[in-house]
């Protein structure tokens, strides 16, 4: 697993806090930072990550069970972390939820559930860590965006709205926090086989592949390599943008035509 990740020497020794770390893209991002000799705080809500990399991680993996909406818990943890002489250099806001419900059937609970996790809690967690990073001379915040922020998505309109709002919020945070040495970017995965995308892939795999110029699904490792890049000094002059990692999804009106 370690050899699948690009190595950035400047990341070694830094601390990366990663939410939504217990499966799929989040779990792979944890592995990617560990392979770059980072200390990783893997945040999970219920089931811990199934990471078994003692030869890579050593004592550099910290498992933190917390709900990203529990600001008091994160504030207390970060205060204790700071008091021990530690600092968080990188925050990856990977946690998010998707609920497939037609807009005409959505209720207020659906709205608050999706907006709270994907937007509200993500912002206030970013704010907490930005204040910490400001005191320490800077840092990097990376938000999980979505293709739903780029093109309308059927039956998940609230999710699309939350990701569109997060996309603009990423730009605003990048602009306001630049004087503090904080870079803020997003990453926009294409179709990656995970538990979240499995239902769609099961229904229409061929159609989804035909929408991608590279004519294949991506891997969680390819997404994690993009996140590593954004966190590293290789992206030191990049802020306020979303890195699209999609294999050229919808690059042209008919992505399948060059393959015919």
Catalytic residues: 159
The H-or-E segment that residue 39 falls in is: strand 39-44
| HSE toward the beta carbon, residue 155, CA cutoff 13 A | 4
CA-to-CA dists, residue 197 to 62, 66, 85, 97, 114, angstroms: 28, 24, 40, 12, 17
Evaluate whether 166 touches 155 at the Cβ level (below 8 Å): no
Question: Residue 24 and residue 34: Cα distance in Å, rounded?
Answer: 16
Assigned token pair, 47: 């089931």
Question: Residue 50 and residue 101: Cα distance in Å, rounded?
Answer: 30
Phi, psi of 138 (to 5 degrees): 130, 180
């Amino acid at each position: 697993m370690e050899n699948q990740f690009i190595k950035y020497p400047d990341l070694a020794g830094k601390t990366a806090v990663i939410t939504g770390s217990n499966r799929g893209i989040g779990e792979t991002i944890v592995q990617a930072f560990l392979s770059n000799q980072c200390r990783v705080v893997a945040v999970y809500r219920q089931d811990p990550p199934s990471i078994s990399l003692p030869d890579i991680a050593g004592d550099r993996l910290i498992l933190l069970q917390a709900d990203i909406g529990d600001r008091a818990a994160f504030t207390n943890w970060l205060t204790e972390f700071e008091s021990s002489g530690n600092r968080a250099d990188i925050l990856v806001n990977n946690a998010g939820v998707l609920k497939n419900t037609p807009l005409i059937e959505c209720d207020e609970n659906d709205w608050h559930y999706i907006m709270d996790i994907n937007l509200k809690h993500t912002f206030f967690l970013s704010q907490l860590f930005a204040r910490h990073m400001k005191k320490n001379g800077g840092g990097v915040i990376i938000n999980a965006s979505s293709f739903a922020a780029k093109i309308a998505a059927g039956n998940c309109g609230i999710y699309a709205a939350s990701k569109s709002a997060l996309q603009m919020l990423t730009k605003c945070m990048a602009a306001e926090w630049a004087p503090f040495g904080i870079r803020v970017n997003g990453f926009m995965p294409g179709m990656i086989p995970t538990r979240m995308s499995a239902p769609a892939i099961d229904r229409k795999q061929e159609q989804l592949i035909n929408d991608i110029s590279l004519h294949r699904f991506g891997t969680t490792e390819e997404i994690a390599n993009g996140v590593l890049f954004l966190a590293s000094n290789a992206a030191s002059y990049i802020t306020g943008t979303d890195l699209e990692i999609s294999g050229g999804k919808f690059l042209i009106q008919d992505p399948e035509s060059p393959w015919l």
